[in-house]
A and B are shown apart, each in its own frame.
Chain A
Amino acid sequence: DSGVTQTPKHLITATGQRVTLRCSPRSGDLSVYWYQQSLDQGLQFLIQYYNGEERAKGNILERFSAQQFPDLHSELNLSSLELGDSALYFCASSVVLTSGGPLSGANVLTFGAGSRLTVL
């Protein structure tokens, strides 16, 4: 268990529908990242939140939106779903360590197990 929890693990829905994917970051991590992984596109960065604020945006479609709540969990909303949206959606969280040690100052991601979305 990585400490990052994603729900649901699997989701099957129809084109045109809307779904919400949820992510609870590792305790103490302030940043949440969303990635989409499909067979033909590899791992695509969608969006990053830091302590409730959007920090960076990647290849996120206008049909997709996300937010990070005060308790730091995040949701990714996918609407008007198309067949091509079928993919694994990963959430990752991170904190920049400042207490010394080999990872101090670095941004190391901890990934959840992913949510597999199938659009029929």
Chain B
Amino acid sequence: SQQGEEDPQALSIQEGENATMNCSYKTSINNLQWYRQNSGRGLVHLILIRSNEREKHSGRLRVTLDTSKKSSSLLITASRAADTASYFCVMNRDDKIIFGKGTRLHILP
């Protein structure tokens, strides 16, 4: 399996703080996506960054991509209780879609 590796596996922060999750992968990619999964629910697409892009923003989300290091990071600023969820990086190469193992984020009140 060519799963991506996410780091950390779990993260607990205080509401209002920023949360950073990292993802590393093994093969070349066309794009990298981040998805969120609330407990027991389906995954929801958050943001996509292409292999020729280095940084992307969407609301409180900031994604970076370093193709030379085969790594990406997802930053959630000013975290809220509703951000408590698991976050998955997803590598897309041609027809292949490869999921990371996910980071469980818990926002403390």
Contact = CB atoms under 8 A, between A and B. Distances in A.
A103 interface: yes
A59 B1 CA distance: 9
A113 interface: yes
Q: Is the interface of B mostly helix, strand, loop or mixed?
A: strand
A90 B95 contact: no
Contacts, number: 59
Contact of A107 (B40, B88, B95, B99): B95
Interface string A39-52: 00011010010000
Nearest to B33: A108
Given A90-B42, A114-B40, A114-B41, A106 B31 contact: yes
Interface of A: 2, 4, 33, 35, 42-43, 45, 48, 55-56, 59, 88, 90, 92, 102-103, 105-114, 116
Interface of B: 1, 3, 30-31, 33, 35, 40-45, 48, 50, 88, 90, 92, 95-99, 101-102
22 contacts: A4-B42, A42-B101, A43-B43, A43-B88, A43-B102, A45-B97, A45-B98, A45-B99, A48-B95, A59-B1, A92-B42, A92-B43, A105-B30, A106-B31, A106-B33, A107-B97, A109-B45, A109-B97, A110-B45, A111-B43, A111-B44, A112-B42
